[in-house]
């Protein structure tokens, strides 16, 4: 079971190339899958990467540009062909209904599962989804249309039981859950055994921030501060800084500057413009500001 892995299915920008696919990522957290954006080719990439369709229950769409959502109709249709019965929830701005309702009515009639929509405000930082494993928050971005990123905050885990100590004090099985959650143990003789003697601290929860597409936007820094992993678009290099500004995108150097100011532990860049046949130049520019930047590539799996 994956503890917390990021799968890169596509990391190109709007113009399709043979080098990169449109944007899509899947978070694999405690054996649950959460999709972020769904560009064309998503379901084929899921096949190539051996990602199980039936574990996917939530899809987060950052904004309504085609390279981030044109894969949705095909994916939903395939889920129907595979016999899915459980509901799937799409988290996106209200405009998603204008796009998806006609498609569902014409091409996805009779799906054996319900498609739910959680309509979010991309201009606000809010908690938009919560389950037993994770809280997901919106991150307002700065793009040509309303767009938001997503912050995935893993929920705290339980402490680890020290098996030898539990056996030594003859702790009943029914008490283990309470001890994992911090309780002390009282023996039959009334002796209080401190929790610290029975457990080791839980693995610290991880945080992942996804920020694509956006112009340079320091306003996001308080939201993503100290994240374990930051994905930030780097559509252009410094040679196209003016183009980046005009199209509300970022350069690799600007992505690195955000990571540096936010004190992110690691940075992944992606959403490469089709003009860059060699994306190593983007890594070189980012490395000067934020060393050891990771270049996103299709098929990459990054453990948190």
- Closest by CA to 93, choosing from 113, 68, 130, is 68
Q: What is the DSSP string of 128-172?
A: EEE-SSEEEEEEE--SSS--EEEEEEEPPPPPEE-HHHHHHTT--
Residue of 67, 178, 228, 287 with catalytic role: 67
Contacts 24+ apart (CB under 8 A), 259-262: 259/230, 259/232, 259/289, 259/290, 259/293, 260/289, 260/290, 261/218, 261/221, 262/220, 262/221, 262/224, 262/225, 262/226, 262/227, 262/230
Residue 170, CA distances (Å) to 65, 161, 179, 280 in order: 60, 13, 13, 58
Q: Are 252 and 239 in contact (CB under 8 A)?
A: no
Q: Are 134 and 34 in contact (CB under 8 A)?
A: yes
Task: Name the strand (E) or helix (H) holding 216.
Answer: none
Rounded Cα distance, 22 and 274, in Å: 11
Q: Are 212 and 142 in contact (CB under 8 A)?
A: no
Rounded Cα distance, 273 and 264, in Å: 24
- The answer, yes or no, to whether the previous bond of 119 is cis (omega within 30 of 0) is no
| Residue 28 falls in the annotated catalytic set | no
Active-site annotation, residues: 67
């Amino acid at each position: 079971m994956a503890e917390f892995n990021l799968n890169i299915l596509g990391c190109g920008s709007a113009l399709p190339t043979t080098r990169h696919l449109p944007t899509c990522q899947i978070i694999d957290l405690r054996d649950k899958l959460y999709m972020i954006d769904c560009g064309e080719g998503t379901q084929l990439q899921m096949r190539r990467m051996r990602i199980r369709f039936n574990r996917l229950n939530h899809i987060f769409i950052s904004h309504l540009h085609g390279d981030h959502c044109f894969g949705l109709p095909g994916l939903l249709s395939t889920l129907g062909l595979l016999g899915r019965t459980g509901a799937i929830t799409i988290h996106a701005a209200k405009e998603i209904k204008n796009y998806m309702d006609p498609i569902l009515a014409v091409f996805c009639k009779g799906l054996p599962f319900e498609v739910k929509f959680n309509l979010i405000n991309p201009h606000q930082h809010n908690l938009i989804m919560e389950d037993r494993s994770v809280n997901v928050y919106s991150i307002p971005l700065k793009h040509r249309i309303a767009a938001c990123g997503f912050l995935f905050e893993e929920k705290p885990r339980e402490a680890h039981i020290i098996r030898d100590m539990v056996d030594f004090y003859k702790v009943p099985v029914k008490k283990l859950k309470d001890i994992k959650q911090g309780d002390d143990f009282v023996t039959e003789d009334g002796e209080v055994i401190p929790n610290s003697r029975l457990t080791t601290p839980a693995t610290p929860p991880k945080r992942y921030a996804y920020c694509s597409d956006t112009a340079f936007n320091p306003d996001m820094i308080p939201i993503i501060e100290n994240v374990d992993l930051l994905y930030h678009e780097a559509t252009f290099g410094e040679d196209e800084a003016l183009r980046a500004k005009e199209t509300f995108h970022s350069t690799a150097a600007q992505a690195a500057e955000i990571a540096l100011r936010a004190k992110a532990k690691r940075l992944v860049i992606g959403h490469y413009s089709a003009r860059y046949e060699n994306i190593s130049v983007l890594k070189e520019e980012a490395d000067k500001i934020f060393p050891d930047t990771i270049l996103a590539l299709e098929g990459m799996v990054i453990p948190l």
